[in-house]
A = this chain, B = another copy of it.
């Protein structure tokens, strides 16, 4: 079978992945709670024969700094509710919801995802996150977010419990036999009776086994603990955009971890983020990207940089930063922080400098040809199994990718031109897992 490049359509902020994407002239910022707004996104992705859409999420409103409320378009619909409605508005595309294992219960999550998988006839996926913001803890009775290693330990136990709950019913457990009056075959029901460090869950689930067996599991494995969890449990990993050599190293390292967990390298697809800004000419694309960057309010620039380097800063985005190193930010994310490294070098840098550097490092600016060249090179040189497309503006940025870049990728035979397989799991080339847990007759 030809290896095929996988495509996910990511929605970060509803207005686009750039924080002020909602200011773009094509944006519809008053429609961030309108189902038709999201249906257009999903339908566009389906038109581009994407494998899945992928909704970011957070269990909080980020109001640590005033700019979070003033300028971010953070209000949104809850992902599972939204995806369930989109399941009815689409027919073939995968539906991936971001769900935290820190502030949820496995029984609820197993049930809701199983339901989405039934409603969509095998198209559900979840992106496991462990919630790293204090703002989230404070909506669930805590003060601070959990320690990094504890979050991942809890996350792994969470996945194992959810999988056991999905295994509650054998595929042929429902008899529904009018004559005998037997609805189910009790011998084909599994009681999890899980008693672990973080969870005690008896089961069984009151939803039959999902069409995919286990709906597809995404993770964003940045840290070592995140990569370990992904290597042990995930079907696909969503990765940060990196320079080619770094992306190849990340790819190779993660596939090694997968093998170390007794799995095949192809059992886990690695899908770096792709943040395209595409136009008919290189110059137009560059101008469009400049325009998007310039739409960022100064308060966001200052407060974004202040947050990432762990100190408050004066309001002027063009004032040189007097950096004071602080190790307390380490727990926010284990990802290497390039901005801190740059500041430690002693060079005179302003918030605008650092913000712009991050912006240009993260985006792929060019024509359909040049972006397809980059995508193809990464796909063919061990840097990616596919990409999660994070358009900076909605709907424009994403629709221009689908209209310009996707046909070029299809022309090169890299991506699909029509849907074939029924379930998302089949489409990703993954087998439907057998029930791993033994059947135990309910007491």
Binding site for B on A (CB under 8 A): 20, 22-23, 25, 27, 29-30, 32-35, 58-61, 63, 66, 69-78, 80-82, 84-85, 87-89, 103-105, 107-108, 111-112, 114-116, 118-119, 135, 138-142, 168-169, 174, 176, 178, 181-184, 186, 189, 191, 199-208, 295, 297, 442-443
B201 near A140: Cβ-Cβ < 8 Å: yes
- Measured in the bound complex, the distance between the Cα atoms of B176 and A437 in whole Å is 51
With A29-B176, A30-B176, A103-B105 already in contact, 11 other A-B pairs whose C-beta atoms are closer than 8 Å:
A22-B176, A33-B118, A69-B189, A70-B184, A77-B118, A78-B112, A81-B84, A82-B115, A85-B88, A138-B200, A138-B201
B residues in contact with A74, CB < 8 Å? 183, 206
A69 near B116: Cβ-Cβ < 8 Å: no
8 interchain residue pairs of minimum CB distance: A29-B176, A138-B202, A84-B84, A78-B115, A81-B115, A33-B118, A181-B297, A63-B442
Best-buried of A29, A32, A202 by chain B (most CB within 10 Å): A202
A443 near B63: Cβ-Cβ < 8 Å: yes
- Measured in the bound complex, the distance between the Cα atoms of B35 and A81 in whole Å is 14
21 sampled A-B residue pairs with Cβ under 8 A: A20-B181, A22-B176, A29-B176, A33-B207, A35-B88, A35-B119, A59-B107, A59-B108, A61-B168, A63-B443, A66-B442, A69-B442, A77-B119, A78-B114, A78-B115, A81-B115, A84-B85, A85-B119, A107-B140, A141-B199, A181-B295
B residues in contact with A178, CB < 8 Å? 23, 25, 27, 29
A183 near B71: Cβ-Cβ < 8 Å: yes
B residues in contact with A208, CB < 8 Å? 32-33, 75
B residues in contact with A182, CB < 8 Å? 70-71
B residues in contact with A60, CB < 8 Å? 206
What is the predominant secondary structure among interface residues of chain A facing chain B? loop
B residues in contact with A207, CB < 8 Å? 33, 75-78
B residues in contact with A61, CB < 8 Å? 168, 203-206, 442
B residues in contact with A443, CB < 8 Å? 63
A81 near B176: Cβ-Cβ < 8 Å: no
Give the nearest-CB partner of A187 in chain B.
B69
- Measured in the bound complex, the distance between the Cα atoms of B179 and A20 in whole Å is 12
B residues in contact with A75, CB < 8 Å? 169, 174, 184, 206-208
B residues in contact with A115, CB < 8 Å? 33, 77-78, 81-82
B residues in contact with A201, CB < 8 Å? 138-141
> A63-B204, A169-B75 in contact; A23/B181 too (CB < 8 A)?
yes
